[in-house]
Amino acid sequence: MKIISIEARAIDRGFQNQVLQTTRVASPMSRFPRFGEKRASWMWPTKKVFVRVTAEDGTSGWSCTNGGEIVAMIINDHLSRLLTGEPLDDIATLWDQMFFSLLPCDRSGFSMMAISGVDIALWDLAAKTQNQSLVEMLGGTAEPTLPVYITTPQPEVHGAAGWSGLKAAAPFGPETGKVGLDANVTYMRQFRDVAGPDVPIMIDAFMAWDAEYTLQFLDAARDLNLHWVEDPIPPYDIEGMQRIKAEMDDSISLALGNFAFSRWDCADLLREGLVDILQPDVAWAGGISETLRILDMADTADIPVILHNTCEQPWALALAAARQTDALVEFVDRGAESQLYGLMGPPAMFKQGRVTIPQDIKGNRPQPDVEQQFAPAIAGAHMEGR
């Protein structure tokens, strides 16, 4: 079975309208007053990128990633021409072809989002051609549900829902001084009051802090029994990360890896002994093929993995269910009406803090209005001269 087309479309699904974008949340841009009040003021291209890979029998595999028009251009103008006409039976080789072809451009960020989008669609297509669910393709699971922690700006709404943890996005960074630091601690105290003494609470700083501020915050919040602090500083600041790790209370974990874009980025964190909980995003870190390698590396290092933003990605849920032991997954609370739920099929189903594993052999499928923006798939087509 050969690939006859690869297409990507950047489509607005309301990412900039969610609460985490329209309220003050600390970020690497918070240090600049113009961009400090809300993420939406500076965020990179935020249209979702939907990817369709079609085989010569007309079957299509689908996926979704980030990066807007930039990632769609990489897929449509470069990766598509490399893989069109190639056989579907060796996804690992197709991944290598994409990766090495982009080395002159970059090996992270938008390039890896593009590779991820194509790779996930290839896996979806392979599962469909074999009449299996992705969970089955990855080895199957005996567990129909997985425990979930929630990232939310409204802990009071979710405190009694049975989640395995409540995570906050830090509102303030070093640019606001002691006032902002105290406000961060007060905010986390709300999470502890709602969660009670037994449910973990966590904070995500989204690379907005520095080592000194991180340690000051952890000292000020020492009575709150934080479970982890996530991505407190940019991933390139290895020395800063080493200082945090050396000086922080060892009862608190360092959760890193949202912005690890490959196995090599993850290997750096593991080799330096910096990460307690690894959190790569399947749609950013090279797709299913690369995440399988990352899971193996982390397992060898005996470091737990929680796949970033799991519950919006059916492929991430499938990986967690089929390839992890005692997996914990993340749900991001984007508000009751967000278009970001169910981008690739029915929205995730929750009950008592657990999510149902998608096991439909029909695989990924975007909403009808998204699919209409793609050209009709060509059923029964054949590649000539390949």
CA gap 72, 182 in Å, rounded: 42
Residue environment code for 5-40, b if the CB has 16+ CB neighbours within 10 A, otherwise e: bbbbbbbebebebbbbbeebbbbbbbeeeebbebbb
Sole residue written with tokens 């005692």 = 326
Dihedral sign of CA atoms 122, 299, 264, 255 in order? positive
Q: Which of 113, 118, 30, 107 lies closest to 81 in space, CA to CA?
A: 118
Main-chain dihedrals φ then ψ at residue 347, nearest 5 degrees: -60, 155
**Based on the number of CB atoms within 10 Å of its own CB, is 132 exposed (0-12), middle (13-18) or buried (19 or more)?**
middle
Are the CB atoms for 63 and 51 separated by under 8 Å?
A: yes
Instruction: Out of 78, 158, 227, 308, pick the active-site residue.
Output: 308
CA gap 364, 360 in Å, rounded: 9
Q: Which residues pair with 329 in a beta bridge?
A: 148
CA gap 145, 174 in Å, rounded: 40
308 part of the active site: yes
Dihedral sign of CA atoms 361, 367, 370, 374 in order? positive
Are the CB atoms for 49 and 73 separated by under 8 Å?
A: no
DSSP-derived secondary structure for 123-176: HHHHHHHTT--HHHHTT--S-SEEEEEEE-S-HHHHTTS--S-EEEE----GGG
Pair of tokens at residue 248 = 């922080």
* Positions marked catalytic: 308
